[in-house]
Amino acid sequence: EVQLVETGGGLAQPGESLRLSCAASGFTFITYAMSWVRQAPGKGLEWVSSISPSGGTTYYADSVKGRFTISRDNSDNTVFLHMNSLRAEDTAVYYCAKDWQLGDFEFWGQGTLVTVSS
């Protein structure tokens, strides 16, 4: 059974940093792209970032490019989202997703809430 467990959310002040982690199990992690998608309170889904199976190629939404970094540890079946220079508009539930190929989200974690507020 595929499981994706996100951790690392919480309260941060504007300008601060957070690192989200997503522990994956139940599939051959190294063969799949992984992604992060967020949802602001009461709003729709917004793609954040994706990473290729090897980690060699990354993709970012314009809203986070230059501030967020996606990475993965294939030896530990974990994908990360490093978030710097956080803004109030980054407040959202952040979901980790397993891609079927790339940019198609076959399975989702339960999400972790990030709140950016002073």
Where along the sequence are the contacts to another protein (CB under 8 A)? Answer: 35, 37, 44-47, 50, 59, 61-62, 95, 100, 102-111
CB of 109 to another protein, least distance (A): 7
CB of 44 to another protein, least distance (A): 5
CB of 15 to another protein, least distance (A): 26
Quote the CA–CA distance of 44 and 102 in Å, as a whole number. Answer: 20
Of the candidates 71, 73, 59, 60, the residue with the CA atom closest to the CA atom of residue 30: 73
CB of 16 to another protein, least distance (A): 26
Quote the CA–CA distance of 79 and 106 in Å, as a whole number. Answer: 16
> Which residue, 44 or 118, has its beta carbon nearer to another protein?
44
> Which residue, 11 or 45, has its beta carbon nearer to another protein?
45
Residues 6+ apart with CB under 8 A from 30: 53, 54, 74
> Which residue, 73 or 106, has its beta carbon nearer to another protein?
106
> Which residue, 12 or 64, has its beta carbon nearer to another protein?
64
Cα Rg of the chain, angstroms: 13
Write the DSSP assignment of 107-118 as a string of letters: EE---EEEEE--
